Chains A and B, each alone.
Chain A
Amino acid sequence: MGVTTIVAIATAAMQGIAAAVQAWPTIQSIVAEGRDPTPSEQATLDAAADAAHAALQHPATA
Chain B
Amino acid sequence: MLEILKFADARLREPSTWAGLAVLLGMLHVNVDAGLWHVVTLWGTAGAAGLAILLSEAGSKPGIQVGEDMLAALSAALDAATPPASTAPAHTPVATPAAVATAPTAAALALLLAGAVGLTACSGSGTDQKQALYAVESAYVLVANDEAAAIGTGVVPADAAATMRATDATLYAALVAWRQSVEAGNSAAASAVSGVQTGLQGLVNQLTAAKALSPPALAAADAALSLTAIVIAGG
Contact = CB atoms under 8 A, between A and B. Distances in A.
Interface of A: 1-3, 5-7, 9-11, 13-32, 34, 36-37, 41-42, 45-46, 48-49, 52-53, 55-57, 59
Contacts of B181: none
Interface of B: 13-16, 18-19, 22-23, 25-27, 31-34, 37-38, 41-42, 45-46, 49, 52-53, 56, 113-114, 116-117, 120-121, 124, 126-128, 130-131, 133-135, 137-142, 144-145, 147-148, 151-152, 165, 168-169, 172, 175, 179, 216, 220, 223
A27 B116 contact: no
B220 A19 contact: no
A36 to B, nearest CB: 4
Contacts, number: 161
Contact of A10 (B18, B126, B142): B18
Contacts of A14: 15, 18, 38, 41-42, 45
Given A25-B56, A46-B137, A55-B148, A9 B33 contact: no
A32 B124 contact: yes
Contacts of A15: 15
